Every structure is written in C-alpha cells, then in structure tokens.
C-alpha cells in the first residue's frame, strides 16, 4: 500500500513537471511569418507655430501693466503634423498628429508599425507641418527593398530636414 502511495507521488511530481516544462516554452507562437518584414515610422516632429507672431498695437500695450509690455504676441500652440505613406501607389498610412503638451506646444510624436511582405516597393512619404500648407513640406519618393524579417525604421532628421532610413 505504501509502495502504491510512493508511486502515486512519483507520478504526481512527473505530471507536475510535465505541465510546467511544457507550458514554459510550448506551444510555439509565431509572431511574424519568416517572409514578413516591417516598416516602423517613428519620429518626433514639431509642427510650425499655429499662428505667427503679431506686434501688439499701441492701445493693447497701453492697457498692459508696465512690466508686461513686450513687443510681440507669440502664441505657443503648434500646428498638428500630417504624415502620409504610400506603397506602390496605395495609401497604407495617413494620420494627423496633434502636438503633445498641455499647451500643445511640444513635438508631435509618431510611432507606427506597418507589416509588409519582404520584397521591393516604391515608397512615397509626405509630411506637412502646418495645417495651412498645400502639398507637403517634406517628401520622399523612391524604391526600397525589404529583406525577410527586416525592420526598416523611417525617421526624420530635423537638421537636414529629410527622412532617414535605418
């Protein structure tokens, strides 16, 4: 009887480690098929000031206390940034990104994943950083090649004012 209990305990522990051992790695999960690739659109870009600076009128300045009489009125709010991505002529991403910050005076953050099959594509990328702009302030047109499993990170260099590809 005691032997049966020991056998039962051995079986119990065996089932316990089989359960732990199996589910600690299995079943395997396929996050992306091997032939897949991905574009990540990721950058922070500050839109232009929504309204330009304006000189106060003499009447307006006179109405202010002495220490607050500055020459220009410059609203802090920035314009939303508009980004569009077309691949082989097909629009795959389009978004108007509001500026961050309570006063909407911070950059517009963008982080977007676009899964694609590996291969060659014609890319068109456009961005405008003011709502009143017609067309795009910044644009890229050109071919790209995505290898299997590759992640292509598209950023924006504010100094060179152009898109970057990593």
Partner 1 sequence: MLKLFQDSGHRAFLLADRLANAIFGTKWNPFYYLGTMAFFFFYIVLISGIYIYIFYDTSVVDAYTSVEYMTHKQWYLAGVMRSLHRYASDAMVTTMVLHLLRGFFSNRYRGARWYSWTTGIPMLVMVFAIGITGYWLVWDKLGQFVAVRTSEWIDWLPIIAEPTARNFLTNTSITDLFFRLLVVTHLGLPLMLLGLMLLHVTRLNYARINPPAGLAIGSTLALLVLSLVKPAVSHEAADLSTLPTQLNLDWFYLFIYPLMDQWSMGAVWALVGGGALLLALIPWMPPKRREPVAVVYPDDCSGCNLCVVDCPYEAIRLEKRTAATASGRYAHLPIAEVEESKCVSCGICTGSCPSSTPFRHSDEVSTGIDMPHRNIRDLHAATREALAKLTGPTKVLVYGCDHGVEMSKVMQSEVAMISLPCTGALPPSFIVYALRNGADGVFLTGCRSGDCFHRLGNDWVDMRIEHKRKPYLKRSVPHERVKRYWAAATDHKQLIDEIESFCQSLRDLPPATVKAKAEAQDATTSRETRG
Q: Which residues bind partner 1 (CB under 8 A)?
A: 5, 8-9, 12-14, 16-17, 19-21, 23-26, 28-34, 36-38, 40, 42, 44, 100-101, 106, 109, 111, 113, 149-151, 153, 155, 166
Phi/psi of residue 71, nearest 5 degrees = -75, -40
| Distance between CA atoms of residues 61 and 153, nearest Å | 49
Closer Cβ to partner 1, 24 or 67, answer by number: 24
Place of tokens 């990721």: 42
| Distance between CA atoms of residues 21 and 154, nearest Å | 41
Least separation in angstroms between residue 25's CB and partner 1 is 4
Closer Cβ to partner 1, 4 or 68, answer by number: 4
Closer Cβ to partner 1, 26 or 66, answer by number: 26
Question: Which DSSP category does 132 fall into?
Answer: T
Tell me how many degrees the CA angle 157-162-163 measures, rounded to the nearest 5.
80
Structure tokens at 135: 């067309």
Closer Cβ to partner 1, 52 or 119, answer by number: 119
């Amino acid at each position: 009887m005691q032997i049966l209990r020991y056998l039962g305990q051995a079986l119990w522990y065996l089932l316990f480690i089989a359960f732990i051992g199996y589910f600690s790695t299995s079943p395997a999960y396929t996050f992306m098929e091997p032939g897949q690739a991905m574009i990540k659109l990721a950058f922070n870009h500050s839109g232009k000031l929504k309204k330009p600076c304006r000189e106060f009128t003499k009447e307006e300045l006179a109405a202010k206390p002495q220490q607050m009489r500055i020459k220009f009125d410059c609203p802090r709010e920035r314009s939303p940034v508009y980004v569009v991505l077309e691949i082989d002529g097909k629009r795959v991403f389009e978004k108007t990104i509001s500026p961050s910050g309570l006063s909407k005076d911070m950059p517009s953050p963008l982080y977007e994943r676009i899964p694609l099959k590996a291969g060659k594509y014609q890319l068109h990328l456009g961005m405008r950083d003011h709502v009143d702009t017609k067309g795009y302030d910044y644009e890229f047109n050109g071919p790209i090649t995505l290898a299997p499993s590759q992640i292509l990170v598209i950023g924006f260099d504010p100094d060179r004012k152009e898109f970057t590809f990593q």
